[in-house]
Amino acid sequence: MSKQAILGDNLPPQLIEMMGDNLEVVEWSKNTDDAALAHCVGLIAFSHPTADGPLMDRMPNLKIISNHGVGVDHIDVAAATARNIPVGNTPGCLDASTADMTMALLLSVARNVLVGDRFARGPEFTFHDPSILIGQEVTGSTLGIVGMGRIGAQVARRAKGFEMKILYHNRNRCPELEGELGVQYVDFDELLSESDFVSLNCPLTTETTGLISTPQFQRMKRSAILLNMARGPVVDTDALVAALQCGEITAAGLDVTDPEPLPRNHPLLSLENVIVLPHLGSASNRTRQRMMEMTVENLLAGLEGDTLPYPVHSN
């Protein structure tokens, strides 16, 4: 029996092995020709490449789009729905690891972990000086969470362990979490002005694109720290650079950027008061293992014409 072709970008060997012997991978790039695309019956979006209507039109035999991750802003779900192509993602399994990384960034930026590491390795560190690298206290500080979904709720649970006051802003209030965790719903401007740490844990949508820009930085405390665990375009990159350079906010921790990756000469990469990670929110061993399993489960279900176990619905 001939193998079915699956379009995929940089798929790791472990994921390919999970797919089984009856599937073969066609490497996805801007140079993939029409004949190869037309041959493919499935598509795995591993590194967040763009899957839009024109691409789908070049794939007349496409039965399923399976996304490795939760966010599907790089996939035109409406276009897929219009073409009767189901889209699957990997919800739930990465909430804890992404919340862990949110707290890791928060602590690292607040307590000068990377700056301190570089200093400790450098020639200037010849004696202990208690007056340098004084960071911000985390315990008892105010955390503002933008996006109280599954990940935001996990962040709140961790922040409670640091006795933080937790404010949140969301499209809808979450009374059950207010009761369980003591989080307080506030409007967006109040969250910005009252928070010592602002954590972005929202999806990228039309409404959240450019959510944080110059007016928002001006509302924040000058001592505030911004954490972006959402998507790069939620933050206006030029406005962020200006805010960090002029001291409008104290620092930032970024798991995502816009663009991603940043050009190697980008001014954000030269600033000491920002930590930039290469999109590591879900990059823990157990989480990535489960993400690959869910990606393959969606793929195989779609190829069989079955209901996806983890479907994405068009809004």
Helix (H, G, I), strand (E, B) or coil at 43: strand
297 is catalytic: no
Beta-strand relationship, 225-228 and 251-254:
parallel
Catalytic residue among 68, 169, 279, 288: 279
For residue 298, CA distances in Å to 55, 77, 91, 289, 306 come to 20, 15, 12, 15, 9
**DSSP labels, 48-98:** ---B-HHHHHT-TT--EEEESSS--TTB-HHHHHHTT--EE---STTHHHH
Return all residues near 96 (Cβ < 8 A) that are at least 6 apart: 154, 287
Do you find a cis peptide bond into 259, omega within 30 degrees of 0?
Answer: yes
**DSSP labels, 220-277:** S-TT-EEEE-S-GGGB-HHHHHHHHHHTSSSEEEES--SSSSPPTT-GGGG-TTEEE-
Confirm if 16 and 26 have CB atoms less than 8 A apart. no
Give the phi and the psi of residue 290 in degrees, each rounded to 5. Answer: -70, -35
| DSSP state for residue 168 in the 8-state scheme | E
128 is catalytic: no
How many whole angstroms separate alpha carbon 102 and alpha carbon 74? 22
Catalytic residue among 68, 169, 231, 288: 231
266 is catalytic: no
**DSSP labels, 88-134:** E---STTHHHHHHHHHHHHHHHHTTHHHHHHHHHSTT-SS--TTSS-
Catalytic residue among 260, 266, 293, 297: 260
Selection from 188, 106, 109 nearest residue 148 by Cα: 188
Q: Which residues are catalytic?
A: 231, 260, 279
